[in-house]
Amino acid sequence: MPLITTKPMFDLAYGGGFAVGAFNINNMELAQAIIDACAKESSPVILQISRGARKYANMRYLKHIIDAAVEEHPDLPIAIHLDHGDTVELVKTCVNDGFTSVMIDGSHHPYDENVKVTAEAVKVAHASGVVVEAELGMLGGIEEDVVGMDAHEYEKNVQKFLTDPQQAKDFAARTGCDSLAVAIGTSHGAYKFKQEAKLAFDRIEQIMKTCPGLPLVMHGSSSVPQEFIDLVNKYGGNMPNARGVPEEQISKAVRSYGVCKVNIDTDLRLAMTAKIREVFATKPAEFDPRNYLGPAREAITSMVRRKLQVLNSAGKAQQVNQHWEKLGKPVPSFYKSGRAA
């Protein structure tokens, strides 16, 4: 099957007690590891590409890596998604590059400007059968290319930054977005909180009520498992005070509160870094990249398999495929024109 949009995935995830994992790719090893994990767990997956990833890897290379993944795993439902797109121009470029889903992140703009840029992005993407994720509210944490806020400042004022349920209703109606990234207490990066994380479950519930049928997305959902931080630090790293969202809270947001898409990048970076550091520290004579990138790739695969259990998406691939067929096998026009279908 060709790359598909997230629609058949979210149709089932909504009310189905599972979420689709959206994992960031920047190179071949990350893509292979994620796809390998999803094939082993029979899970639908969203591969997401940030502006930083486009710059780092060159979209042509990423495109061919993804095509190879589709050829290797023809039965795996895979969507390719722009993560944190900032302009309508970039959305257009990604639609032409064969993305099946795009995010337009206007959350740092004043509300009316967010509505305007999102509605424009929706118009452009929908014209080609591509779906759109938008964002409303403000997340904490800082990553290269993602607008965010210092963890401490964020925590002190978190209530003020959470997504407003009534505004979400107005926003969804005025923009026509297909899914909505919401601020409900998660945060980007490895240093999310000074205190224990506490997701605003009541806020998810309220947004679900004001926006029935709209799939909700949780960014900043890495758990920053302590055992990986310990490994990084043991083998020469320096990551004091790293902290994430406990997996039980992610699982609860998905299984009991209906979140449909969960974004995870930091935990994959941690798994990769911990393993490479371990090889360098324990085998100082090693200099063949295959002998540290190979184990790193395996560590990422294990991390993704663990996440697919947390998200309860393991074993859902076939259902998604069947639903996609029932919908009439919809694909963006890029694929209808003959390429990759």
Q: How far is the CB of 209 from Zn ion (least distance, A)?
A: 24
**Residue 53 site contact among ligand G3H, Zn ion, ligand 13P, none (CB < 5 to 8 Å, cut-off depends on kind):** ligand G3H
User: Which residues participate in catalysis according to the annotation?
Assistant: 83
Q: Is 86 near ligand 13P (CB under 6 A)?
A: no
Least spacing, CB of residue 279 vs Zn ion, in Å: 29
Residue 7 binding ligand 13P, by CB under 6 A: no
221: partner contacted, choices ligand 13P, Zn ion, ligand G3H, none (Cβ within 5-8 A by kind): ligand 13P
Q: Which does residue 29 touch among ligand G3H, Zn ion, ligand 13P, none (CB within 5 to 8 A, set by kind)?
A: none
Binder among 7, 219, 261, 277 for Zn ion (CB under 5 A)? 219
What CA–CA distances, in Å, run from 244 to 124, 179, 306?
35, 24, 16
Q: How many residues bind Zn ion (CB under 5 A)?
A: 2
Q: According to the binding rule CB under 6 A, does residue 264 interact with ligand 13P?
A: yes
SS (H, E, C) the chain: CCCCCCHHHHHHHCCCCCCEEEEECCCHHHHHHHHHHHHHHCCCEEEEEEHHHHHHHCHHHHHHHHHHHHHHCCCCCEEEEEEEECCHHHHHHHHHHCCCEEEECCCCCCHHHHHHHHHHHHHHHHCCCCEEEEEECCCEEEECCEEEECHHHHHHCHHHHCCCHHHHHHHHHHHCCCEEEECCCCECCCECCCCCCCCCHHHHHHHHHHCCCCCEEECCCCCCCHHHHHHHHHCCCCCCCCECCCHHHHHHHHHCCCCCEEEECHHHHHHHHHHHHHHHHHCCCCCCCHHHHHHHHHHHHHHHHHHHHHCCCCCCHHHHHHHHHHCCCCCCHHHHCCCCC
**Residues found near ligand G3H in the complex (CB under 6 A):** 24, 50, 52-53, 83-84, 143-146, 188, 265
**In which residue are the tokens 């923009």 written?**
175
Taking CB under 6 A as the criterion, the residue among 7, 54, 81, 188 binding ligand 13P is 188
Closer by beta carbon to ligand 13P, 219 or else 297:
219
Q: Assess 221 for contact with ligand 13P (CB under 6 A).
A: yes
Which of the ranges 19-27, 198-206, 244-252, 259-267 carries the binding residues for Zn ion, by CB under 5 A? 259-267
Q: Which is nearer to ligand 13P, 27 or 42 (CB)?
A: 27
Q: Is 263 in the site for ligand 13P (CB under 6 A)?
A: yes
Nearer to ligand G3H among residue 78 and residue 268 (C-beta): 268
**Closer Cβ to ligand 13P, 24 or 321, answer by number:** 24
Tell whether residue 54 is a contact of Zn ion (CB under 5 A).
Answer: no
Which residues in this chain contact ligand 13P in the complex, by CB under 6 A?
24, 83-84, 188-189, 219-222, 263-266
